[in-house]
Structure 1
C-alpha cells in the first residue's frame, strides 16, 4: 500500500515512479490522503523560504517552530498525523485479518525536503518477517513533525549510536525513513504496542541514478 499527500504534482509523480519501479510487491494500491498534506504556512504560503526566515527572526523565533499568521501550528500538524496513524492501523488490521494478538507492520516514509545524509545501509534493512508494508509519501515539514511524535510521544526506540539531532533533522529530497510498528487488537481499536526506528533520512537509493531518471 502506498499512501501519498494530495497536494503538489511532484508528490504524485514520486509515488507513481515508486510503483512503476517496484520489483518486490504486486498489486500495490496508491491512496490519496488529505491528512498527509504539507503544513499550512498562512500568509507565507508559496513564498521563498527566506521570507519565512525573516518573519521568524522578526518574531524572535526559530524558523522551524514559527507559525506565520493564518498558518498551521506544529500541534495541529501532529494532530493530523495522529489521525492518519489511527486510520492506517485500523486498515492494516482489518484488511489483513490477523488472528494473533500481535501484528507487525513496517512503514517507510519517502518524503522531500533538504538535510544532512546519515550513514548508509541496505534498502531492505529490518524488512525480513514484516508482513505488512506501507509506503508514505509526504512533505519535509510534515514528516519531521511525524517522526518527532513517533519518538517523543510513542516512545519509538532508535538505532544504537544515532544522534537525536540527526533523527529530527529535515529530510533530504526523496529521502527515506523506516519504522517497524507492532500492533495489537484491543476490543475497540488497534493498539501500538512497540515502535522501532530502523533509519532516517537515507538517500543512498539516489546515488546511481542518471539525470534522465
Structure 2
C-alpha cells in the first residue's frame, strides 16, 4: 500500500471574478488581491513538503502556484507538471460574458445545468470526465513510483473529442521563474505575470471558513509534521469548476465521505484550501480516500472577500 496527501488550492482572485464574468479557458491573470491571497496561501502551506505539483496551464493558476512555492521552505525541487486537463470549464461563446447570461441560456434550453453545453464549450459532465482522467493517471503514476502496480479509480471513458486523454503539457521546476521544459525538449520558457484576468463559474461559493472532517493537525506553520507518514505529497492548483467536478468524482464514484456534500459541491473561495489522504492499494483495488478539510479560507481572514 502507498499513501499520499493531496492538497487542492483554487487560484487567487481575478478582476473578472469580482465582476461576475465567466473567464473559462481565457488566459487571464491574478488581480492585486489575487496575488495577496496567493501569498497568504503560500504562507499557510510554507512548512508543508510537496513532492509533486500539478497546475492548469492558464496564467491565473500558474501565478498562484508560483506564489505558493516561492513561500515554501521545504519543497526546494518538487516535481511540477502543467496539465491542460486541470483547466477551467470551457464556456465557448459565453466566455467573457456574465454569469447571469449563462444562467439565462441554461433556463432557455430547458436542460439541467449539469447537462448544458454552451456553443463551443463544455458541460459539467465533460469537465468531470477530464478531472477523472487526471486523477486516474495521478494515482497510477504514484502507484508506479511506489511499486504497487495499477489501481482502479472508476475512470470513465474518455470524451468523444479525446480531450480527456493524458496531456500533461509541460513540466519543470517552477520555484522562482517558471523554467518549463516542453515535452522531451530541453528548451525553457519564462512565464510572465502581467496581463488581464477573468472569472470562473459556479452557482454558489463556499464563503464561510467551515472546515470539514478536521482529523489531522492543519498547522502548516509547524515543521513537526511526520515526513515519513506519506509516500508522496501532492499540491494541485486549479479552477473552481474543475475542482468541484474532481470532488464530485472523489465523493460519488470513489466513496470519499464528507460531512456535507452540499458544502463540498460549492465553488471553493479564491485560494481556498482542501486536503485529502489517498491510500493506494495493491491488486488493482480502488483507492481509499479520507477528507481532512474542505474549502478552508481561515488564512484569508484579513483579505477583502469577493464572492463569485
Contact residue 148 and residue 281 of structure 2 kept, 8 A: no
TM-score, scaled relative to structure 2: 0.55
Partner of 2:134: 84
Q: Which SS does the other structure have where 2:54 is aligned?
A: strand
Q: 1:10 aligned to 37, 54, 60, which one?
A: 60
Contact residue 5 and residue 34 of structure 1 kept, 8 A: yes
Query: CA 1:209–1:51 in structure 2 vs 1: closer, same or farther (change >3 Å)?
Result: closer
Task: Give the Cα separation in 2 of the matches to 1:84 and 1:131.
Answer: 19
1:40 aligns with 2:90: yes
Deviation at residue 71 of structure 1 after TM alignment = 1.8
Structure 1: which 4+ aligned runs deviate by more than 6 Å?
Answer: none
Task: Give the Cα separation in 2 of the matches to 1:169 and 1:79.
Answer: 19
Mapping for residues 94-113 of structure 1, pairs under 5 Å: 94-95=144-145, 97-98=146-147
Q: Which SS does the other structure have where 1:196 is aligned?
A: strand
| The structure with more strand, counted as a fraction of residues | 1
Partner of 1:202: 296
Task: Give the Cα separation in 2 of the matches to 1:79 and 1:50.
Answer: 25
Q: Which SS does the other structure have where 2:292 is aligned?
A: strand
How many residues align? The count is: 192
Task: Give the Cα separation in 2 of the matches to 1:209 and 1:21.
Answer: 18
Task: Give the Cα separation in 1 of the matches to 2:121 and 2:54.
Answer: 24
Task: Give the Cα separation in 2 of the matches to 1:119 and 1:48.
Answer: 28
Deviations 1:129-176 (A, max 9, x none): 223111111111111111011101110122xxx222111111111111
Partner of 2:70: 20
Deviation at residue 72 of structure 1 after TM alignment = 0.9
Q: 1:183 aligned to 280, 285, 288, which one?
A: 280
Which structure has more relative contact order (CA 8 Å, sep 6+)? It is 2
Contact residue 181 and residue 192 of structure 1 kept, 8 A: no
Contact residue 5 and residue 32 of structure 1 kept, 8 A: yes
Deviation at residue 62 of structure 1 after TM alignment = 6.1
RMSD, matched Cα: 2.8
Query: CA 1:205–1:192 in structure 2 vs 1: closer, same or farther (change >3 Å)?
Result: farther
| Range moving further from structure 2, 141-150 or 64-73 | 64-73
TM-score, scaled relative to structure 1: 0.78
Partner of 2:271: 174
Task: Give the Cα separation in 2 of the matches to 1:99 and 1:45.
Answer: 43
Segments of structure 1 that go 5 or more residues without pairing to the other structure are 103-111
| Range moving further from structure 2, 22-31 or 57-66 | 57-66
